[in-house]
A and B are shown apart, each in its own frame.
Chain A
């Protein structure tokens, strides 16, 4: 039969090439990341894992420990909330500087004045630098400056999130309906009233929902920053891990899953109410 002469899959050449290239790339990656799954099944590692995991049940539940956890959980939420509040203080002025649609000179002549363009561009660069450094790295550095404890966590969130919020706020303001803002600016309103009466009503709900989403992220971030000594439930988990106390770790993990689910619920609720 004629058909058998042709390969049944017309795209086979491409598929074979792609597979070979993927395998060739895979090898150096496996070497670089020291990928050896058998280490998981070596007797010593299995023993250590078993000892640790067998402590998981029952989770630690003495009332003293739970009180400690309650306090740490509140601290985590408080670090995230305070950090985000400070981030807003930084992000809002930077947003106003960075937003292009609030430029009067661009509206009139199609070009920004040089001074305006310069200020706007420097605000953007500042935002880029703030958010490019991961919050954990900020925390690691700040712990060395202000000492162990929640202050480092609050400042780290404030720095990273002011960069993120500022950038996204500016993007939202620029991409939302610009008609009202332009009309206001062309008829001689000040930039601040153009913002309040033109841009904000058009973009308000999007801004609120992004902020609550970031609050949720900040809670996760503040847990993680505990591992470098910035307080909250992460620091407790770090301590329990160092003592290999499986029961405590399992309680903390449960609290953690509940906390994330709770933050998710609250932020959905806020988005619905305020959005």
Chain B
């Protein structure tokens, strides 16, 4: 009788092992090439100077006039994010039509490539470029958010349109409705809830993004933070950071609550 057992499968497949080793090599190469001086980070003088730096933040500035300016900055940040997302919704929808192949395959490929470029350059980089055309201030930030988000939403909207079964729209077309009417009465109402949920999700992201865009001069709380930090007014900077954290936390909580209400559990 053959008593040999089949050999057990290896714990890790050789290919996976090779992959893990090369990942480790990548990490090692990163640390090696960055040449970080860990020793200097933890000398007593370095620790003392960073403690001094951190102690400069306390207590945060709480004078009423300054708080009002911070509140204005917060409103500016919220407006930038809302307007940027709103504009992106319109542009994204307009670009999603060709990107979903409604005007032929060439238009689809070209517009999709464009959406990829819009999307892969982050808001902050757009803001830096737009500062030349739109000048310092929240307007450049709004445009930067709008451009990047158009890329993101356009792609998502196009996918939603492509995944929609065409039967309803075709029925209207066959019965003599124009292309626009067919789109507005058959396609759009069906995908609208999905579009809205993508847009709200991006809005949430854009509020975070708008808070930091100002670091390159594009308005909002970030601009105040950069300004006070470069003047070494640490206590004012601390207030701005706290305002940022509060805003982000409140937005998170509201969106968590809304999502729970909407999905009904």
Chain A CB within 10 A, most for which of B23, B36, B219, B241: B36
CA distance A40 to B133 in the complex (A): 6
B1 at the interface (CB under 8 A from A): no
**Chain B 76-94 per-residue mask, 1 if CB under 8 angstroms from chain A, else 0:** 1011101100000000000
Query: Is A169 interfacial (CB-CB < 8 Å)?
Result: no
Q: How far is the CA of A207 from the CA of B72 in the complex (A)?
A: 41
> Contact between B53 and A145 (Cβ–Cβ < 8 Å)?
yes
A253 partner residues in chain B, CB cutoff 8 A = 121, 125
Scoring B residues 58 to 99 as 1 if CB is less than 8 Å from chain A, else 0, what string do you get?
A: 000000000000001001101110110000000000000000
| Chain A 59-100 interface residues, beta-carbon cutoff 8 Å to B | 74-75, 77-79, 81-82, 85
Q: Are A261 and B120 in contact (CB under 8 A)?
A: yes
Docked complex: B118-162 residues within 8 A CB-CB of A: 120-122, 124-125, 128-129, 132-135, 137-139, 141-142
Query: A78 contacts B212, CB within 8 Å?
Result: no
Is the C-beta of B197 less than 8 angstroms from some C-beta in chain A?
Answer: no
- On whether the beta carbons of B79 and A28 are closer than 8 Å, the reply is yes
Complex contacts, B132 vs chain A, CB 8 Å: 45, 48-49, 52, 244
- A213: chain B residues at CB < 8 Å are none
CB neighbours (8 Å) of A40 from chain B are: 133-134
Q: In the complex, which residues of chain A have a beta carbon less than 8 angstroms from the beta carbon of B78? A: 29
Contact B120 A260 (CB under 8 A): yes
Residue of A nearest to B117 (CB): A257
Name the A residues within 8 Å of B208 (CB-CB): 134
Q: Which of B3-11, B101-109, B171-179, B243-251 has 4 or more CB atoms under 8 Å from chain A?
A: B243-251
The 0/1 profile, CB within 8 Å of A marked 1, for residues 183-213 of chain B is 0000000000000000000000000100110
A19 on the B face (CB < 8 A): no
Q: Is B26 an interface residue (CB 8 A)?
A: yes
Chain B 40-56 interface 0/1 with A at a Cβ cutoff of 8 Å (1 = within): 01000010011001000
Least CB distance from A274 to B in Å reads 7
B219 and A274 contact, CB distance less than 8 A: no
* A residues adjacent to B (C-beta < 8 A): 28-30, 32-36, 39-40, 45, 48-49, 52, 74-75, 77-79, 81-82, 85, 132-134, 136-137, 140-141, 144-146, 150-151, 154, 220, 223-224, 227-228, 234, 237-238, 241, 244, 249, 253, 256-257, 260-261, 270, 273-274
- Further pairs besides A32-B79, A45-B132: 4, Cβ < 8 Å: A81-B26, A137-B212, A144-B229, A154-B36
